[in-house]
Amino acid sequence: MASLKNKLMNTVIEPMSHGRSKVTVVGVGQVGMACAFSLLANGVSNELVLVDVMADKLKGEMLDLQHGTAFVKNPKIDASTDYAATANSSVCVVTAGARQREGETRLDLVQRNTDIFKGIIPQLVKYSPDAVLLIVSNPVDILTYVAWKLSGLPKNRVIGSGTNLDSARFRFLLSQKLNVASTSCHGWIIGEHGDTSGKLPKIFLNLHTFMTHVYMTDKNSFLSVISPRESRNVPLSANQISIAISHHVKHK
């Protein structure tokens, strides 16, 4: 193949050696593949490795991505059930975990997913000791701590997705209520990802629109949104808070 290439093409300048930004995604479920596609579409990585215990599904997902490489920036895409393929990754994204059963809380998942992590995290660190670990599996805040303890890495190199998804939902809902682009709307859902998230001190909008301490405009109304329910002593979910605050802002 090399000799045929040399016959068909003249070398004008010597090819340059480019460092590759290698990213590993563990778990090829819906979330894992969404992460992989996003990495490729945004040109974040030029070398992607997929890891999963289900070999057949893993191969199929790898082929789907490989067949679409004509539309992205020449990435190298590989997949394996062996963690040796992940060697020298810059970032390892962990989306693998047990499925949440009907009626099961995120906290009920802790032990099952902790056992799964015991087979994942040490292997990632073994082959990529300098990598940053990004944890997405639920319950993400607890599993990020578990991953940190299992890895032995510095705390700044084990990161959880936290309430980024909750905040993105909030920004979208607020943008719909105010009829502005979500990119021009900034708000944050804070706390633990899940039912205990949602206490939001400030909302900021771009385009010279600035609202500080929205809750001060109607303190009782806002406190009824972010305070625990008396009957259950449990805070509202992030999605309920997002809708309630958006509705409140629209009518001010």
Q: Would you tell me how many other CB atoms lie within 10 Å of the CB of residue 65?
A: 22
Q: Would you tell me how many other CB atoms lie within 10 Å of the CB of residue 187?
A: 22
Q: What 8-state DSSP symbol labels residue 53?
A: S
For residue 139, cis peptide bond before it (omega within 30 degrees of 0)? yes
CA separation for the pair 69, 74 (Å, rounded)? 6
Helical segments of the chain, H only: 2-8, 30-41, 55-67, 110-117, 121-127, 140-151, 164-178, 219-226, 238-250
Q: 18 an active-site residue? A: no
Q: Would you tell me how many other CB atoms lie within 10 Å of the CB of residue 62?
A: 20
Q: Which of 193, 213, 247, 251 is catalytic?
A: 193
Pairing between strand 22-26 and 158-160? unpaired
Residues belonging to the active site: 193
